[in-house]
Structure 1
Amino acid sequence: MDYPQSGERFRGRAAISAQRGRHPADRHFSAQRITGRADLWVSECIITYDGVPSYSVSIMEFADQHVVHETQYFANSFGAPTWRAALAEPMPDRTIAEA
């Protein structure tokens, strides 16, 4: 499992399980969309760490019905600039954050 933004790679089931199991934050996961086929699947999630949302995209590669590689990208929310307010509408169940 790779985290490109921090440069970390976790190799093997035991390392990945320990990394996820030892996380100190109170975490909640909300899958927004999962799409893919055959050996490549992508999920978009909101992961809330101690009440603060982080947006995540996970790319999972499969072989023989097993995950062989996962890459996760994380992003914090940001405010929308006022110059594009007339062009945008809120996403379902969301409000547009101001910059």
Structure 2
Amino acid sequence: EVTNIDLTRQVLNLLERPETLITHVADRPGHDRRYSLDTSKLRKLGWRPQVDFQAGLKETVAWYKENEWWWQPIKHDSAGFQAYYDKQYAKNP
């Protein structure tokens, strides 16, 4: 189980960025507070993760750092992304 704030801190640590970048926003209906998976039934069938969570997170962050060409246009040039971001995270008066 990993809480959102712990996951955020882990990502910032991998990016070597300060926790002061965290901006707390009001929860909205449907916001996840934590992530928790029960894989016990799958494990009984012989399933095992190929990559553990920490290694997978590190690989994912590395991929995004190495592939800015892929996500930067979405973040900066997409009206759809900006509209979604504004709707979800804009501060209400």
TM score, norm. by length of structure 1: 0.23
Greater relative contact order (CA < 8 Å, ≥ 6 in sequence): 2
Higher strand residue share: 1
TM score, norm. by length of structure 2: 0.24
